[in-house]
Structure 1
Amino acid sequence: MGQAIVKLPAYVTRVKLASGEHAYYWKLPHWATDKDPKTGARTPTVRHGFPCPVESCALGTGHDAAVAKAEGLNETLKEWRLGAERKTLKPGSIAWLFKWYRDQERFTDLKPKTQRDYRRLMEIVAAFPTRAGGTLGNRKAADMDGETADTLYRKLREKGEREAAYCMQVCRLVWKWAVRHKRTTGVKDNPFAGMGIKSTPAGENRPTTRAEYDLYRETARGMGYQNMAAAAALCFEACQRVSQVFGFWPDEEAVKEGRDPPAGLQWSVYKPGVAMALVQRKTGNPVWLDLAIEVEGEAVQLYPDLERELMDLRERAVRDEFGQPVGPIIVDERNGQPFDQRWMSTVHRRICTKAGLPKAMTFTGFRHGGITEIGDSGEADVRPISGHKTLAQTRTYNKATAEKGRRIALKRREHIQALGERDDKEPKP
């Protein structure tokens, strides 16, 4: 009689090792990933508004444990495919707690973009795979402890320090509110409190230097991303916020009224060779950016790099009936639509990698670098360009740099020399 064939769960393969043991692997099906047409890289498919929460992994050498974990992975994959997990949330689970929090007034009162960011971070936590093969969202929220929270943070940091810190901050807010309503939530402790995570992750505010900015734009143009080169120029030269340049910050009034909000900076704010009429979205402060001035009868261009990048884009812009460019300045060159935030981050990282620029170089760093450069030039008050309300706010960006240190030292030497000259002129006793 032949040996019985043991049927393995779907998507599981068994491989014989050199030692004679068998190892088991679970491979994510092809239909759960999408292929990038440019790079060929595969990314999780999005269904029902959520990316696939599981990924291929090794199951170990133990048959029974491998089968149990694979069945858990398959169940999670099925729930995601059908959207069942979000239709029938388990009361008291982490996914249920996140949904409960999103129904609270303290969440619904937040700005639309903040709500979207919080929702995305909650999904990252809820979709985090567990050892048993399921997701963290199915675990009971009241059973979450400090050790598990620390482990989650450590694992998330492997994929990105900044996002991991933000996930922990959102969880801390959710559990803090849940403890206050423990009769409803069943949560009595906040495992995310006291983790010592800074509100601003280390390295986030690293200012980009002009040399890095120049190399970035050159590389972006060479890769066919003129839009990213122009966006970097708007952030560095005009000190605009990333959210405003790309349109990641919607008009709340337009959203409430059911209108499509303007996506980012519009061509209407730019008059070539003359000025840019800007309004800092966060503060509401107007910024008039002269692009040229007249010196002794000659026009002097103040922002030649910025205008070069904008003019290259302007030639391709959509035109109105009078031949004037209309719509957002920065659009995705693949489809002419505003950038998806995740895709923008992907393209930014590709450009930095191609150029050999530091991993810590974020797009926010262009604005920080531009404002820092203004400070390095000797101008303490950067508000006419940055649009900040107070000088105190600009200190976050206008950082102490080696250039400032050299300038201070030079001023000090001049002061000492002046004192010496004065002493030489005074009559000796």
Structure 2
Amino acid sequence: MKHRIRTVQPLPSYTRRKPLAGGKWGYYFEPPGWAVVPPAGDDRGPCPVGAEALGTDYDAAVQRVERVLLPLFHNWRTRGDIDLAPAAVTEGTLDWLFAAYRQSDKFGALDRKTKALHERGFALVGNYALKDGRRLGTVRLTQIDTTVVDPLYAKLLVTGGKRAGGPRRAGEEPLPGAAEHRERRTTINHAMKSCRRAWNVVRRKRSDLVPATNPFAKMELREVRRPTPTASYEDLQAAVAQADATGLPSLATALMVTWEWLQREEHIFTAFRLDHYRPKDHPDEVLIVHPKTGEEVWVPLFDEAGASLFPELMMRMDALKRDRIGQGPFFVRDWCDRSRRTPLPWATPKGGLDLVRKKSKAVLLGAELADDLSFTSFRHGGLTELGDADLTDTQIRALSRQTKAVLPRYVKKTQRQIIAGTRKRRALRPVAAEHDQEPGQLSFDQLMGGK
């Protein structure tokens, strides 16, 4: 009997070894379960890195985990706080293209969340291992065409590979994600779009190094859209009451802001400042900024007769701003930091919103609302309420600053909208006499063949 040589060689995080047939050891990368199936409402979505069989070569396994899998995992975990760019790049390579795009004004103008999405896409594509062991990122742009990109897309699309060492033996536990192939179409579609965008932007400045034909363009990507669960006004009332009851009035107010003024979660906690609400030069208005679209809108707080348009929300906002001056974040935590003895902003210095999402989820669960609701659900609920109120697209766009093209994505189609639309259509038709039938209408007896 051949004895297996035991090893005490260190392994990276989320990596383990297993005995295989023939006295060898197999190495496996296994991300934690909370990353593979994130909690409901986590806007990061499933981790782009799944369980992976790494083979029997210790050095190769460790190198792949440390250089590719762990950086991708931690970038996803921190929403882009960890840089995935290689330390040095060769001009004219794919890595260089990504680096040049990062230095462009176009990339700099993006919000933090979109930048992180691009970075994950660059990492997935650039770190792809070729048969000769090289990273795709080290390949020159002149060597990358559709014959490279199309097969790459197909290979990246499905995560979870074959088990190293042959089929699983009877009684052996399967690796999470390794036995089942999981499609990650949304993640890989975003990666292809990120590469396409980088190619187009850098090509305009460096046409001498970037080929005119963009291999990431016109890929006919099939989109899979999962609608965001939408909260109702009753859900909002329940969530606000629960947040107040648990000592989180600022979070309750933020939920009302996203419903009434349609501002995104990240912008409420990172871009909404004290001087945006009823400043001296606009005492009857609030400035709602949308960094994602670059739009700003002054929302009136009173109508022509002087009546408050948002009485419940304004009462809260006035109370939160009382005795505070400056241009700092409007929304701060509802407790004092032990060391600073003052409330800190909800968002971290880098814009992280993990605490907001954790507290929001606890509030929603405490209110016994649907498990799939999140903070974002209340903004979508506010947008849908606009449609239910029979507002025109122009009126909705004036409030939300959404473009006409993306508006249907946010304003959910409901029975009330369908009924209102049908009534408006019928109102345009000529009014027939009560005893007359509509043109072409048959009686019940005629439809039944005279029976």
- Which of 120, 123, 127 is matched with 1:127 structurally? 123
How far residue 174 of structure 1 moved from its aligned partner, in angstroms, is 1.9
The 3 A distance-change label for structure 1 pair 326 and 124 is closer
Residues 376 and 404 in structure 1, CA contact (< 8 A), matched pair in contact too: yes
Deviation at 1:77, TM superposition (A): 8.9
- Under a length normalisation based on structure 2, what TM-score does the superposition of the two structures give? 0.58
Question: How many Å apart are 1:184 and its aligned residue?
Answer: 1.5
SS of residue in 2 equivalent to 1:319? coil
Post-superposition Cα deviations, 1:58-87, rounded to whole Å, max 9, x if no partner, equal: 545x533x4422234345699999999733
Equivalent residue letter for 2:215 = N
Aligned residue pairs total 363
Q: Against the structure 1 CA distance between its residues 275 and 205, is the aligned structure 2 distance closer, same or farther, given a 3 Å change threshold?
A: farther
Gaps of 5+ in 1: 29-38, 40-52, 248-262, 425-429
In the alignment, the residues of structure 2 paired with residue 238 and residue 413 of structure 1 have an alpha-carbon distance, to the nearest angstrom, of 33
Write out aligned runs for 1:336-415 (5 A): 336-337=344-345, 339-340=347-348, 343-344=352-353, 347-348=356-357, 351-352=360-361, 354=365, 357=370, 359=372, 363-380=375-392, 382=395, 386=399, 388=401, 397-398=410-411, 400-409=413-422
Amino acid paired to 1:246: F
Q: Secondary structure at the match of 1:382?
A: helix
User: Which residue in the other structure is 1:331 paired with?
Assistant: 332
Q: Distance in 1 between the 2:263 and 2:212 partners?
A: 42
Which residue in 2 is equivalent to 1:196?
A: 221
Aligned counterpart, 2:151: 147
Cα deviation for residue 114 of structure 1 reads 1.1
Match of 2:196 in 1: 172
2-structure distance, mates of 1:15, 1:269: 59
**Do structure 1's residue 213 and structure 2's residue 236 form an aligned pair?**
yes
C-alpha deviation, 1:190, in angstroms? 0.9
Q: Is the 1:73–1:134 Cα contact (8 Å) retained in structure 2? A: no
Displacement of 1:325? 8.8
CA contact (8 A) 2:196 2:214 kept: no
Task: Quote the residue 2:277 is aligned against.
Answer: 269
* TM-aligned CA deviation for residue 395 of structure 1: 6.4
Please state how far the C-alpha of 1:214 moved relative to its aligned partner: 3.5
Q: 1:191 to 1:155 in 2, by over 3 A?
A: farther
1:231 to 247, 254, 262: 254
Structure 1 counterpart of 2:42: none
Q: CA RMSD in A?
A: 5.4
CA contact (8 A) 2:261 2:400 kept: no
Where in structure 2 are there 5+ consecutive unaligned residues?
A: 32-38, 40-46, 75-81, 161-180, 338-342, 438-451
Return the structure number with greater helix share. Answer: 1
Amino acid in the other structure paired with 1:184: L
* Matched residue type, 2:263: Q
**3-state DSSP of counterpart to 2:86:** helix
Q: Which SS does the other structure have where 1:194 is aligned?
A: coil
Quick one: distance in 2 between partners of 1:414 and 1:187? 54
Give the Å deviation of 1:124: 1.1
Distance 1:93 1:346 in 2: 39
The whole-number CA distance in structure 2 between the counterparts of 1:389 and 1:71 is 45
Asked if the contact 1:375/1:398 (under 8 Å) is kept, the reply is: yes
Asked whether the 8 Å contact 1:227–1:332 carries over to 2, the reply is: yes
User: What letter corresponds to residue 377 of structure 1 in structure 2?
Assistant: A
Which residue number in structure 2 is paired with residue 303 of structure 1?
310
What are the Cα deviations for residues 390-427 of structure 1, in whole angstroms up to 9, with x where unaligned?
98886665554211223345667889997555979xxx
Return closer, same or farther for 1:101/1:13 CA change in 2, 3 Å cut-off: closer
Contact 2:233 2:381 in 1 (8 A): yes
TM-score, normalising length: structure 1: 0.61
Paired with 2:387 and 2:213, the residues of 1 have a C-alpha distance of: 49
SS of 2:98's equivalent in the other structure is helix
1:70 aligns with 2:51: no
The secondary structure found in structure 1 opposite 2:353 is helix
